[in-house]
């Protein structure tokens, strides 16, 4: 990736902004802003200067420290100082800075005075008229902010993976039936199993006379045809989902699949490796001069840059290329590694099927155990269980286990974590269960320190086994609550408990980055369906996708254990 002066300037500008929001020393802020200007306005290419061995400290406002950072950016494309700031501030702060009218000063005020950290919070505050009261704002600015957020939100409308999957599989089936089609595969963020996708990118290989391009634009779910050609077309489906289709030659299929799977940053890094070897890599193949040396398969493309095949879920330029080079790619978990599912609901609360229905559906899918984990009494909307009803369910499960073979039903609960970190049911009942999943279902807006403390206290409880949907976010609906996930993960390690990766398509919670964090800290993750009916068990595949994006292997996941291995792990020893 060629690093331009503008890229370096942008990084310094962002550092200055984030430092200012943090309330850092103004001289320091100014130093980065000045450096951004110096580099941005420089008539000569910084990278070339460095290659020539010129001393950057000769430039105005650039000392040893900044010169070192420039070198780091040119060499690696990244800046560890910026990465550090991103970790220290809420991740969405950078989004706020993208709203026109909002510079660092205003974002700082919004963050400190109104605790606004996300676009959604910004939108609500503007709508409720809380922003006009702030110094330096006013009604007009508030109105502008409201509009800007609306435009920004509209421009980034994305589809949940599970929703996109429905449109994708119908369309793929349709295209496969067209005469002459050979391979039909969805690439892009969909193949990387991102939790949401912006559009679908479909690749097709076909016999020369195949009418696939005409049939694509004639698909009856198509609302608008944005463009249509002999090898590429784009349409909008009635649902609003955009689909790009590309027809590629068989000899280029691997190269095209690699290119259109992305991510863009991964591709850029791979292309750069090619350049270092004098190769040109694009969607048609890998070329040495005019000669194509690879492209039929993805493996062949990676091989030309000295790498093994990298699974799509890892292709985000988050260390996978370095790991591949060092022969340290993880053996990612697969759906068939799961031996059971530890979070299910039934008719007793807000689910739709009986315990027996759920057990039989799980057995049919090859699982060895399930855990029934209803809501607790606090959650009245879900008809949560009080001690009496839970005890009754325990008896029912005992009877069912005596009757069923080939599947074991474990007794659990998804108990509310109260505001003070207490649990919503008494110990005398919790101790009768095989596992206790604690969940936050209220008071989402506690400040970070209090929310974290609340969860840590719940984990201290002797019967606590697992933290449900750890960030509480609902995709495209509710932002995560603000917690210190590293502290929670370290606590889980210390207390011998686990984190859930909730596979419900609206949740996919743990986030992929937290999966990596849990793995590094040695905390097992449990991939649970949170099924409310038998079909929901199939959502585990999205949980697997998310886990793979988080680099998890079979041994990192609790419910890859057999029942015999699992039982002692559910016993709290600390
Ligand atoms: P999305 O649709 O926003 O969820 O994300 P993607 O990753 O599917 O992105 P999309 O649909 O814009 O493009 C599909 C893939 O095509 C992308 O992952 C990588 C590749 N691609 C697109 N534009 C570029 C580009 O400018 N350079 C390179 N190297 N690859 C690109
Ligand atoms: Ca896409
Ligand atoms: Ca696309």
Q: Around Cβ 543, how many Cβ atoms within 10 Å?
A: 30
Q: 5-154: which CATH topology? A: DNA polymerase; domain 1 (1.10.150)
Alpha carbon distance, N-terminus to C-terminus of the chain: 49
* 25 three-class SS: coil
User: Does residue 312 contact residue 320 with C-beta atoms inside 8 Å?
Assistant: no
* Enclosing H/E stretch for 18: helix 5-22
Rounded Cα distance, 501 and 489, in Å: 13
Closest CA to 509 of 160, 225, 181: 160
Outline which parts of the chain fall under CATH 1.10.150.110. 5-154
User: Does residue 234 contact residue 218 with C-beta atoms inside 8 Å?
Assistant: no
Outline which parts of the chain fall under CATH 3.30.210.10. 252-325
| C-alpha 513 – ligand 2 centre gap (Å) | 21
| C-alpha 196 – ligand 2 centre gap (Å) | 10
Whole-number Cα distances in Å, 60 to 25, 52, 307, 316, 408 = 20, 19, 42, 36, 71
Minimum CA distance residue for ligand 1 atom 28: 264
Outline which parts of the chain fall under CATH 3.30.460.10. 159-247
Ligand 1 closest atom vs CA 266: 29
User: Does residue 413 contact residue 349 with C-beta atoms inside 8 Å?
Assistant: no
Of 168, 188, 280, which is best to mutate to test ligand 1, by the most ligand atoms within 8 angstroms of its C-beta?
188
Contacts of 392 (CB under 8 A, 6+ apart): none
Radius of gyration of the chain (CA): 27
Minimum CA distance residue for ligand 1 atom 5: 189
pLDDT at 573 (0 to 100): 61
Ligand 1 closest atom vs CA 188: 8
Rounded Cα distance, 431 and 362, in Å: 26
pLDDT at 1 (0 to 100): 54
Classify domain 335-571 at the CATH class level.
alpha beta
| C-alpha 196 – ligand 1 centre gap (Å) | 14
Paired residues of 282 in beta bridges: 285
| C-alpha 123 – ligand 3 centre gap (Å) | 28
Rounded Cα distance, 388 and 405, in Å: 28
Rounded Cα distance, 97 and 10, in Å: 13
Ligand 1 closest atom vs CA 199: 2
Outline which parts of the chain fall under CATH 3.20.20.140. 335-571
Rounded Cα distance, 383 and 554, in Å: 35
Dihedral sign, Cα of residue 340, residue 342, residue 348, residue 350: negative
User: Does residue 557 contact residue 546 with C-beta atoms inside 8 Å?
Assistant: no
User: Does residue 374 contact residue 414 with C-beta atoms inside 8 Å?
Assistant: yes
The alpha helices in 414-526, defined as continuous H runs, are 427-430, 448-460, 485-495, 512-521
The pTM assigned to this predicted structure is 0.76
Rounded Cα distance, 546 and 162, in Å: 12
Of 260, 271, 301, which is best to mutate to test ligand 1, by the most ligand atoms within 8 angstroms of its C-beta?
260
Contacts of 218 (CB under 8 A, 6+ apart): none
Give the relative orientation of helices 80-88 and 5-22 as an angle to the nearest 10 degrees. Answer: 30
* Beta strands, E only, 327-485: 340-344, 369-375, 408-416, 435-439, 466-467
Ligand 1 closest atom vs CA 267: 29
**What string of pLDDT tens digits covers the 574 residues of the chain?**
567 888 899 999 999 999 999 999 999 999 999 999 889 878 788 888 899 998 999 888 899 999 999 999 999 989 999 999 998 988 778 888 888 778 899 999 999 899 898 888 888 899 888 999 898 888 888 988 888 887 776 666 789 999 899 899 999 999 999 999 999 999 999 999 999 999 999 999 999 989 999 999 999 999 999 999 999 999 999 888 999 999 999 999 999 999 999 999 999 999 999 999 999 999 999 999 999 999 999 999 999 999 999 999 999 999 999 999 999 999 999 999 999 999 999 999 989 999 999 999 999 999 999 999 999 999 888 899 999 999 999 999 999 999 999 999 999 999 999 999 999 999 999 999 999 999 999 999 899 999 999 999 999 999 999 999 999 998 877 889 999 999 999 999 999 999 999 999 999 999 999 999 999 999 999 999 999 999 999 999 999 999 999 999 999 999 999 999 999 999 876 5
Rounded Cα distance, 285 and 287, in Å: 6
Closest CA to 557 of 568, 543, 567: 543
Name residues contacting ligand 1 (CB within 6 A): 188-189, 194, 197-199, 201, 259-260, 262-264, 267-268
Closest CA to 70 of 80, 246, 343, 18: 80
| C-alpha 202 – ligand 3 centre gap (Å) | 9
User: Does residue 200 contact residue 164 with C-beta atoms inside 8 Å?
Assistant: yes
Q: Which ligand is nearest to the CA of 197?
A: 1
Q: Which one is the CATH code of 159-247: 3.60.20.10, 3.90.950.10, 3.40.50.12780, 3.30.460.10?
A: 3.30.460.10
Contacts of 4 (CB under 8 A, 6+ apart): 45, 47
pLDDT at 189 (0 to 100): 98
Task: Dig out the tokens for 18 from the structure.
Answer: 């984030």
Q: Which ligand is nearest to the CA of 156?
A: 1
pLDDT at 156 (0 to 100): 60
User: Does residue 569 contact residue 561 with C-beta atoms inside 8 Å?
Assistant: yes
Of 2, 185, 262, which is best to mutate to test ligand 1, by the most ligand atoms within 8 angstroms of its C-beta?
262
| C-alpha 263 – ligand 1 centre gap (Å) | 6
Domain 252-325 annotated CATH 3.40.50.300: no
Residues having C-beta closer than 5 Å to ion ligand 3: 199, 201, 244
| C-alpha 243 – ligand 3 centre gap (Å) | 7
Rounded Cα distance, 126 and 128, in Å: 5
The alpha helices in 262-332, defined as continuous H runs, are 264-276, 298-304, 320-325
pLDDT at 574 (0 to 100): 56
Ligand 1 closest atom vs CA 259: 20
Rounded Cα distance, 96 and 94, in Å: 5
What's the gap between Cα 443 and its chain centre?
24
Minimum CA distance residue for ligand 1 atom 30: 264
The alpha helices in 234-296, defined as continuous H runs, are 253-261, 264-276
CA atoms within a 13 Å half-sphere pointing along the CA-CB vector of 535: 2
Minimum CA distance residue for ligand 1 atom 17: 262
Minimum CA distance residue for ligand 1 atom 2: 198
Minimum CA distance residue for ligand 1 atom 10: 188
């Amino acid at each position: 990736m060629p690093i331009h002066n503008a890229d370096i300037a942008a990084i310094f500008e962002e550092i200055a902004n984030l430092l200012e929001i943090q309330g850092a020393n103004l001289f320091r802020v100014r130093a980065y802003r000045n450096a951004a200007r110096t580099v941005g306005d420089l008539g000569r290419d910084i990278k070339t200067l460095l290659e020539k061995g010129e001393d950057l400290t000769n430039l105005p406002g650039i000392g040893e420290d900044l010169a070192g950072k420039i070198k780091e950016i040119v060499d690696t494309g990244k800046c560890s100082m910026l990465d550090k700031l991103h970790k220290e501030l809420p991740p969405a702060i950078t989004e706020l800075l993208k709203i026109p009218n909002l510079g660092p000063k205003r974002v700082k005020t919004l963050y400190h005075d109104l605790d606004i950290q996300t676009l959604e919070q910004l939108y609500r505050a503007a709508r409720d008229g809380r922003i006009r009261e702030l110094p330096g704002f006013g009604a007009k600015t508030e109105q502008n902010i409201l509009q800007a957020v609306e435009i920004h939100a509209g421009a980034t409308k994305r589809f949940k993976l599970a929703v996109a999957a429905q449109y994708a599989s119908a369309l793929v089936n349709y295209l496969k039936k067209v005469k002459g089609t050979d391979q039909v595969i969805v690439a892009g963020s969909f193949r990387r199993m991102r939790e949401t996708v912006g559009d679908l990118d479909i690749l097709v290989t076909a016999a020369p006379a195949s009418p696939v391009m005409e049939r694509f634009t004639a698909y009856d779910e198509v609302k608008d045809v944005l463009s249509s050609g002999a090898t590429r077309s784009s349409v909008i489906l009635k649902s609003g989902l955009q689909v790009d289709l590309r027809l590629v030659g068989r000899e280029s299929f691997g190269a095209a699949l690699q290119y259109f799977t992305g991510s863009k940053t991964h591709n850029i890094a791979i292309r750069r490796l090619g350049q270092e070897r004098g190769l040109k890599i694009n969607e048609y193949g890998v070329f040495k001069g005019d000669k194509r040396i690879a492209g039929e398969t993805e493996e062949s493309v990676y091989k030309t840059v000295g790498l093994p095949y990298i699974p799509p879920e890892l292709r985000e330029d988050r260390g996978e290329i370095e790991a591949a080079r060092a022969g340290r790619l993880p053996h990612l978990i697969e759906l068939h590694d799961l031996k059971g599912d530890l979070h299910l609901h039934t008719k007793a609360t807000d689910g739709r099927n009986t315990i027996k229905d759920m057990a039989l559906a799980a057995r049919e899918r090859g699982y060895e155990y399930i855990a029934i984990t209803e809501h607790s009494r606090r959650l009245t909307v879900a008809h949560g269980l009080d001690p009496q009803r839970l005890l009754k369910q325990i008896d029912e499960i005992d009877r069912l286990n005596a009757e069923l073979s080939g599947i074991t039903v474990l007794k659990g609960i998804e108990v509310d974590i109260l505001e003070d970190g207490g649990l919503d049911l008494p110990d005398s009942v919790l101790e009768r269960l095989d596992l206790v999943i604690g969940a936050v279902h209220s008071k989402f807006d506690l400040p970070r320190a209090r929310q974290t403390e609340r969860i840590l206290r719940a984990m201290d409880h002797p019967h606590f086994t697992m933290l449900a949907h750890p960030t509480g976010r609902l995709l495209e609906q509710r932002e995560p609550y603000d917690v210190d996930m590293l502290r929670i993960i370290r606590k889980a390690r210390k207390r011998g408990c686990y984190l859930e990766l909730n596979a419900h398509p609206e949740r996919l919670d743990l986030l992929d980055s937290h999966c990596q964090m849990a793995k590094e800290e040695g905390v097992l993750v449990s991939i649970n369906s949170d099924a409310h009916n038998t079909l929901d068990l199939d959502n585990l595949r999205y949980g697997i996708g998310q886990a793979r994006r988080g680099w998890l292997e079979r041994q990192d996941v609790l419910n890859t254990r057999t029942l015999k291995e699992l039982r002692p792990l559910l016993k709290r020893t600390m």
